[in-house]
Chains A and B, each alone.
Chain A
C-alpha cells in the first residue's frame, strides 16, 4: 500500500469548497486536539518529554493546518509537498522522531473526522491520509 500511495499523484481536486470551509472554521479545535494528542499519545512520547520539541510541534501543527488549507483551497499539492520537504529537514536537524510528521497527519485526520460536523470530512481525511502514506513511504525509502 505505501508504494501505491506514494506513487499516486497527490491531488486536492476531490475536496469540496464547503467541506474545506468547514475545516477552516474548525481549525482551532483541530489544532487543540493535535496538541492534546502530543501530550498523551505514546507515538509522541519523545516530543512530549522535551519542552522545546513540544513548542516546535505545536507551532508546526498550527502552520501545517494553515498551509494545508491554503494549498487545498487553491489546488496546489506541489506547494504542500515543497513545504513538507522543508519541514522534514527542519525537524530532522532538531532530532525529531522520523515518524512525527506522519503521526501529526494521523492526529489531524482523526480530529478532522471528529470536528467537521458541518460538512463531510471524508475527502479532506483522504488527502491527509495520502500525505501520511507519502511521508511513511519516504521514510521507507519508497520516494525521495
Chain B
C-alpha cells in the first residue's frame, strides 16, 4: 500500500507544499502507519527521488533544498511525537563524520534507534573532531553510529575512527552512507559494522550490542 502513498507524497514534495506533506504524515499516523514504513518506504525513497531529480537537472537546487527541509521537519516532528518502545538499556551516539554536512541520514537513524528503545544522543553535523572524541569519552555509549556521504572526507573519517577506537575500546562503532560499496573495505578495518541500509543499521545496532 505504500506506492500510492509514496507517489502522493512525492507529488506534494515536488511542489514544495509543506502543509500538504505534513497533513499527509498526520493522516497516515491516524491510519496507524508504522514509523518504520514511513521512514523506509516513503521518506527515504522520496529523498532518493528528489536527489535524482536534482542530479538529472529536472529540479533546481532550491527545490531540492525545500524538499529536504520538509522532510527534516517531519523527522523532527516524529522525534518529538512518536512513542518509543520500552528502553533497551543501551545508549548510542549518532551523527556525521567530519566534513560531512548532510545530516538528514543521521536524523533518520537517530529516530529509528530511539523508537527501538535506545537512549540516543544526536549531535548532527559539523562537530570538531577533538570535541566529538571528548564527548564520546564522557558519555561512554554502547554504540557510535556515524553517517558519511562524501568520499572527500575519507581521510579525516579514518583518523576519527582510529582515535575513537583507541579511546573507547568497549564501544561498538557502525558507519553507513551512500558511498559504502566503494569505500567499504577501508572503513570496515576501522569499525565493527558497515550498514547497507537504514533497516540494516537498526538490525546491526542490536546484534552488535547483544541483541
Knowing A79-B179, A82-B182 are in contact, say whether A89-B56 is a contact too (CB < 8 A).
Answer: yes
- Chain B residues with CB under 8 Å of A83's CB are 151
- Knowing A63-B152, A67-B152, A70-B151 touch, does A79 contact B183 (C-beta < 8 A)? yes
Which residues of B (154-208) have their CB < 8 Å from a CB of A? 154-155, 158, 179, 181-183, 186
Q: Pick the contact of B56 from A74, A79, A93 — CB < 8 Å?
A: A93
B34 to chain A, nearest CB (A): 33
Least CB separation from A73: chain B residue: B155
> In terms of DSSP, what is the predominant structure of the interface of chain A?
helix
Inter-subunit contact B151/A93 (CB<8 Å): no
State the Cβ distance, B74 to closest chain A Cβ, in Å: 27
Is A78 a contact partner of B154 (Cβ separation < 8 A)? no
Bound complex: CA A70 to CA B99 (Å)? 13
Given contacts A74-B183, A79-B182, A82-B182, contact A67 B151 (CB under 8 A): yes
Tell me which residues across on chain B come within 8 A of A90, comparing CB atoms: 55-56
A66 close to B (CB within 8 Å): yes
Chain B residues lying within 8 Å of A69, measured Cβ to Cβ, are 152, 155
Contact A71 B55 (CB under 8 A): no
In the complex, the chain B residue whose C-beta lies closest to that of A83 is B151
Q: Mark A67-106, 1 if CB is under 8 A from B, else 0.
A: 1011101101011001100100110011000000000000
Does B45 have its Cβ within 8 Å of any Cβ on chain A? Answer: no
Are B182 and A76 in touch, CB under 8 angstroms? yes
For B154, the chain A residues whose CB sits under 8 A away are 70-71, 73-74
Contacts of B186 in A (CB 8 A): 74, 76
**A–B complex contacts, Cβ < 8 Å, 24 sampled:** A63-B150, A67-B150, A67-B151, A67-B152, A69-B155, A70-B151, A70-B155, A71-B154, A73-B154, A73-B155, A74-B154, A74-B186, A76-B186, A78-B182, A79-B183, A82-B182, A83-B151, A89-B55, A90-B55, A90-B56, A93-B55, A93-B56, A93-B57, A93-B58
Residues of B whose CB lies within 8 Å of any CB of A are 55-58, 150-155, 158, 179, 181-183, 186
